[in-house]
């Protein structure tokens, strides 16, 4: 069969107006169904005719999935809330600025208007071997083309590899881990709550998925607990150009301080593994210090413990080290 790209094949479009109706549809169509949020990842797959669902469940018409509401103990962000809204939300900017910062670093204003927070964390990897429709492990085949000795893999992972060496592309994921966000996933069995860091899974667990979401599951809400409100935050994304670009490496961090001392820290890095990495070793080093240069350097070194480069991505090791170091330095 010959291949052709850039032409979306027909599918049945289902547009439920409530979460309940969406869940019914997902339950009915199971593996056949594709959940559509902002479409920025989905349509890329569709137009290349690589992922060809017969049924697309569009969440765009479900009011209860959009918007940001304040609860007693934090904030709840509907999964379909646009990244622009997250970026501009007053309380997020004031109390959880790392999340707003991360949202602002996504692609372009147009993409942020269309893209959703739920979609941003649920998106598939951008490994170009995989996105080219090659039969790699992640696509159900038996090869990782990106880890081959002569492969072009400058954007691939330096840790967490397991047959697959792709990276998670989400800008908001590390920020959500930094604020200890909870992901609420619903299915006919009821809701489950995942810590943000557990929401993302590596290829060792399931090589075909980036998150815990399986057919019939719906990420409905993202809850930011007040625990880290008004902490000191740091976000930085290194990319090749200043807009419309995925990260090479990004870091998001939250520090709770008492006077000059960092009591507790949460530091997450993305672009280095198939999932956003929480660098707990670095967090431990930082706790109880002032975040001075020596601590920052030690935290950076701890973060890259065990990192291993592919042919073209050795630079990610110092880049990750330096970003973690900068994050710590920022609160000193």
Quote the Cα angle for 174-178-182, to 5°: 90
What is the Cα 305 distance to its own chain's centre?
A: 22
Taking the CB of residue 315, how many other CB atoms lie within 10 A of it? 14
Site stretch for another protein (CB under 8 A), options 6-14, 17-25, 177-185, 186-194: 6-14
Q: Which of 132, 187, 227, 330 binds another protein (CB under 8 A)?
A: 132
Q: Is 258 in the site for another protein (CB under 8 A)?
A: no
Tokens of 21: 């109706």
Please report, as residue ranges, which positions from 218 to 257 form the binding site for another protein (by CB under 8 A). Answer: 238, 240-246, 248
Work out whether 162 is an interface residue with another protein (CB under 8 A).
Answer: yes
190 Cβ contact partners less than 8 Å away, ≥ 6 residues apart: none
Least separation in angstroms between residue 201's CB and another protein is: 8
Q: Which residues contact 161 (CB under 8 A, 6 or more apart)?
A: 147, 203, 273, 274, 308
- Neighbouring CB atoms inside 10 A of 97's CB total 20
Cβ closer to another protein: 277 or 317? 317
Nearer to another protein, 181 or 319 (CB): 319
Tokens of 24: 């019914």
Minimum distance from CB of 158 to another protein (Å)? 12
Minimal distance, residue 32 CB to another protein, in Å? 17
Secondary structure of residue 63 in the 3-state scheme? helix
Cβ neighbours of 50 (radius 10 Å): 16
Residue 123 DSSP code: P
Q: Which stretch binds another protein (CB under 8 A): 23-31, 89-97, 130-138, 280-288?
A: 130-138
Q: Is 1 in the site for another protein (CB under 8 A)?
A: yes
Report which of 76, 77, 92, 9 is spatially closest to residue 37, judged by C-alpha positions: 77
Residue 8: CB minimum distance to another protein, A:
8
Contact call for residue 194 and another protein (CB under 8 A): no
By CB under 8 A, how many residues form the interface with another protein?
Answer: 63
Q: How far is the CB of 258 from another protein (least distance, A)?
A: 27
Structure tokens given for 132:
């080219």
Residue 13 in the binding site for another protein (CB under 8 A): no
Quote the least distance from Cβ 153 to another protein, whole Å: 8
Residue 189 lies near another protein (rule: CB under 8 A): no
Q: How far is the CB of 216 from another protein (least distance, A)?
A: 13
Nearest to 62 by CA among 204, 221, 244, 229: 221
For residues 282 and 303, give the distance between their C-alpha atoms in angstroms, rounded to a whole number: 6
CB nearer to another protein: pick between 52 and 70: 52
Site for another protein in 66-125 (CB under 8 A): 107-108
> Which of 88, 91, 256, 311 is close enough to bind another protein by CB under 8 A?
311
Closest approach of Cβ 242 to another protein, in Å? 4
Q: How far apart are the C-alpha atoms of 326 and 195, rounded to whole Å?
A: 25
**Closer residue to another protein in complex, CB, 264/314:** 314
When the beta carbons of 78 and 271 are compared against another protein, the nearer one is 271
List Cβ<8 Å contacts ≥24 apart for 132-141.
133/3, 133/48, 133/50, 136/164, 137/163, 137/164, 137/203, 137/207, 138/164, 138/166, 138/203, 138/207, 138/208, 139/50, 139/208, 140/208
**Residues near another protein, by CB under 8 A:** 1-7, 9-10, 48-49, 107-108, 128-129, 132, 134-135, 139-145, 147-152, 154, 161-163, 202, 204-206, 238, 240-246, 248, 309-319, 322-323, 325-326
């Amino acid at each position: 069969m010959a291949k052709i790209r850039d032409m979306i094949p027909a599918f049945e479009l289902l547009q439920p107006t409530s979460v309940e109706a969406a869940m019914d549809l997902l339950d009915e169509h199971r593996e056949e169904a594709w959940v559509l949020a902002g479409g920025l990842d989905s349509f890329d797959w569709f137009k290349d005719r690589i992922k060809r669902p017969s049924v697309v469940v569009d969440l765009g018409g479900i009011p209860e999935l959009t918007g940001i509401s304040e609860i007693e103990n934090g904030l709840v962000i509907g999964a379909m809330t646009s990244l622009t809204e997250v970026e501009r939300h007053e309380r997020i900017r004031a109390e959880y600025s790392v999340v707003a910062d991360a949202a602002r670093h996504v692609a372009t204003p147009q993409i942020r208007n269309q893209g959703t927070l739920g979609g941003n964390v649920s998106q598939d990897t951008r490994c170009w071997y995989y996105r080219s429709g090659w039969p790699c492990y992640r696509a159900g085949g038996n090869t990782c083309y990106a880890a081959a000795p002569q492969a072009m893999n400058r954007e691939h992972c330096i840790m967490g590899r397991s047959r697959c060496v792709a990276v998670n592309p989400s800008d908001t994921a590390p920020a959500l881990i930094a604020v200890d966000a909870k992901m609420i996933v619903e299915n006919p069995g009821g809701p489950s709550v995942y810590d943000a860091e557990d929401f993302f899974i590596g290829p060792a667990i399931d090589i075909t998925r980036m998150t815990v979401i399986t057919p019939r599951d719906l990420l409905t809400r993202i809850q930011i607990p007040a625990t880290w409100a008004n902490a000191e935050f740091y976000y930085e994304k290194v990319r090749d150009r200043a807009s419309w670009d995925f990260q090479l490496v990004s870091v998001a961090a939250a520090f709770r301080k008492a006077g000059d001392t960092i009591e507790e820290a949460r530091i997450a890095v993305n672009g280095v593994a198939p999932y956003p990495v929480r660098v707990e070793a670095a967090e431990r080093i930082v706790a109880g210090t002032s975040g001075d240069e020596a601590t920052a350097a030690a935290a950076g070194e701890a973060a890259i413990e065990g990192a291993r480069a592919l042919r073209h991505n050795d630079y990610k090791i110092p880049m990750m080290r330096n970003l973690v170091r900068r994050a710590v330095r920022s609160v000193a």
